């Protein structure tokens, strides 16, 4: 139990994830700044943001709506992000002990943050938050199927094993899945699902700062909002790591392996950030059609290609 708690709170759990997630968030903001010919924030800016919200700012509660639910939702969201993060990172770092979850469990764990955003938004009693929540639900419905089909395709590629460490082991002995045609399609689908999961442009209609002033999070402030920020930092690291583990062959930590691991993660992050910075926001019905029809079609093509060993 003590060991699990250590995993959970220190490495690769809370402290590690928060730290790396913060750095990733900085990288994301820095790259965005470069794209827009700005200077960008200093390295520790995400941490300044977090601690300012947590320690300095006051927390304003909405007068309509359920306060307890409103405050507890971010806590559950953070717990969900942490657990999914650990379930992904333990096998990705080659640690076999501790608690494990297969990819189906990880898939479900990864939806918890979105769910808590929605419940928190509904508990806020603000109509704009409700609009945000409604869009977030619809977005979840639409990318969930695609995401799962992509995961199922990877399960079938790796010979019907569901443990993430098994999937990584298969890739390390036979080469990464991304090295085939179907693998490339799956990477594309996966990246777009990550984009939607993170709520990045073009799928940021649930937050849409310019339109519904941060939608789901409009009522959040102070400590509660700091937790949401932290969850978002972590997700920004967890999801690319999941992609690397599922399709890009995982990580190896010996000599040159460190560099490769770093490059893979940064490469995925760069891709996500560039998509985010070069696209407009689309409407929710467009997003639903995009995922439910086109992305699913793409995955099905990938599955069929895989069936013929391409």
Partner 1 sequence: MLAGILLFFIPGRIRFVKELISILAVMAALYSSIVLFGTGDKLISVDDALRTGYQAHHNCLLADHGSICFQVDGLSRLIVLFLGIFGLLILVYCLTYNKGRIKGFYSWYLITLGASYGAVLSDNLLLFIIFWGVLGITLYKLIPGTDEASSAAAKKTLIIIGASDGIMILGIAIIWKICGTLSMADVSLPTSGALTAAAFLALLTGSFTKAGAFPFHSWIPDYAQYSPASSAAFLPASLDKLLGIYFLARITTDLFILTDPWRMLLLSLGVITIVAAVLMALVQHNCRRLLGFHAVSQVGYMVLGFSLGSMLGVAAGLFHMLNNVIYKSGLFLTAGNVEFRTGKEDIDELGDLSRSMPLTFFGAIVFALSISGIPPLNGFASKWMIYQAIIDFGSGSGLPNKLWILWLGLAVFGSALTLASFIKFIGGIFLSGKKQEFAQVREVPVLMWAPLILLALGCLLFGIFATGIILPRLLMPVSGVFVPAGFWNSSLVSVLVLISVLLGICLYLITGMKKFRTEDSFIGGEKLYETTGYPVSGFYHTLKEFRLMAWFYQKAEERWFDVYELSKRFTLWLSSLASRAHSGILPHYTVWIIAGLIILLMIMNT
Ranges within 36-95 binding partner 1 (CB under 8 A): 54-55, 57-67, 69, 71-72, 74-76, 78-79, 82-83
- 296/81 Cα distance (integer angstroms): 25
Using CB under 8 A as the binding rule, the residues of this chain from 138 to 177 that contact partner 1 are 138, 140-141, 144-145, 148-149, 152-153, 155-156, 160-163
If the CB atoms of residues 218 and 238 are measured against partner 1, the closer one turns out to be 218
- In the complex, the smallest distance separating the C-beta of residue 190 from partner 1, rounded to whole angstroms, is 16
Using CB under 8 A as the binding rule, the residues of this chain from 246 to 265 that contact partner 1 are none
- In the complex, the smallest distance separating the C-beta of residue 259 from partner 1, rounded to whole angstroms, is 30
If the CB atoms of residues 204 and 219 are measured against partner 1, the closer one turns out to be 219
- 22/91 Cα distance (integer angstroms): 22
Contact 137, 129 (CB under 8 A): no
| Size of residue set near partner 1 by CB under 8 A | 81
If the CB atoms of residues 32 and 213 are measured against partner 1, the closer one turns out to be 213
- In the complex, the smallest distance separating the C-beta of residue 50 from partner 1, rounded to whole angstroms, is 12
If the CB atoms of residues 148 and 188 are measured against partner 1, the closer one turns out to be 148
- In the complex, the smallest distance separating the C-beta of residue 167 from partner 1, rounded to whole angstroms, is 12
- CA distances (Å), 44 to each of 19, 94, 156, in order? 10, 29, 42
Using CB under 8 A as the binding rule, the residues of this chain from 173 to 212 that contact partner 1 are none
Burial of 23 (0-12, 13-18, 19+ CB in 10 A): middle
As given in the structure block, the two tokens for residue 288 are: 């639903």
Taking the CA atoms of 208, 209, 212 and 216 in sequence, report the sign of the dihedral they define. Answer: positive
User: Among 200, 10, 220, 197, which residue's Cα sits nearest to residue 98?
Assistant: 10
- 238/12 Cα distance (integer angstroms): 11
If the CB atoms of residues 54 and 188 are measured against partner 1, the closer one turns out to be 54
Site membership for partner 1, residue 123 (CB under 8 A): yes
- In the complex, the smallest distance separating the C-beta of residue 258 from partner 1, rounded to whole angstroms, is 27
- Per DSSP, the residues of 182-203 read HHHHHHHHHHHHHHHHHT-TTS
| Site map 221..240 versus partner 1, x via CB under 8 A | -xxx--x-------------
């Amino acid at each position: 139990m003590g060991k699990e708690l250590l995993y959970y709170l220190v490495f690769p759990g809370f402290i590690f994830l928060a730290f790396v997630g913060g750095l990733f968030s900085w990288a994301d903001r820095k790259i965005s700044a470069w794209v827009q010919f700005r200077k960008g924030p200093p390295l520790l800016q995400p941490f300044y943001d977090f601690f300012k919200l947590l320690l300095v700012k006051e927390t304003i509660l909405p007068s309509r709506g359920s306060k307890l639910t409103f405050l507890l939702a971010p806590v559950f969201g953070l717990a969900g992000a942490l657990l999914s993060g650990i379930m992904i990172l333990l096998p990705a770092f080659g640690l076999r002990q501790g608690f494990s979850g297969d990819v189906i469990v990880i898939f479900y764990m990864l939806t918890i943050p979105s769910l808590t955003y929605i419940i928190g938004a509904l508990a806020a009693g603000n109509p704009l938050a409700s609009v945000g929540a409604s869009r977030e639900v619809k977005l979840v419905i639409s990318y969930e199927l695609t995401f799962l089909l992509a995961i199922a395709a990877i399960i079938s590629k790796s010979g019907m094993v569901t443990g993430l460490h098994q999937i990584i082991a298969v890739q390390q002995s036979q080469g990464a899945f991304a090295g085939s045609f179907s693998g490339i399609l799956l990477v594309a689908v996966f990246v777009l699902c990550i984009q939607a999961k993170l709520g990045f442009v073009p799928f940021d209609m649930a937050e849409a700062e310019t339109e519904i002033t941060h939608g789901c999070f409009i009522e959040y402030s102070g400590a509660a909002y700091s937790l949401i920020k932290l969850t978002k930092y972590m997700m920004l690291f967890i999801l690319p790591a999941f992609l690397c583990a599922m399709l890009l062959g995982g990580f190896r930590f010996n000599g040159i392996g460190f560099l490769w691991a770093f490059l893979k993660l940064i490469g995925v992050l760069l891709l996500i950030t560039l998509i985010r910075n070069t696209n407009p926001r689309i409407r929710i019905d467009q997003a639903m059609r995009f995922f439910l029809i086109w992305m699913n079609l793409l995955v099905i093509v990938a599955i069929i290609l895989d069936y013929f060993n391409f």
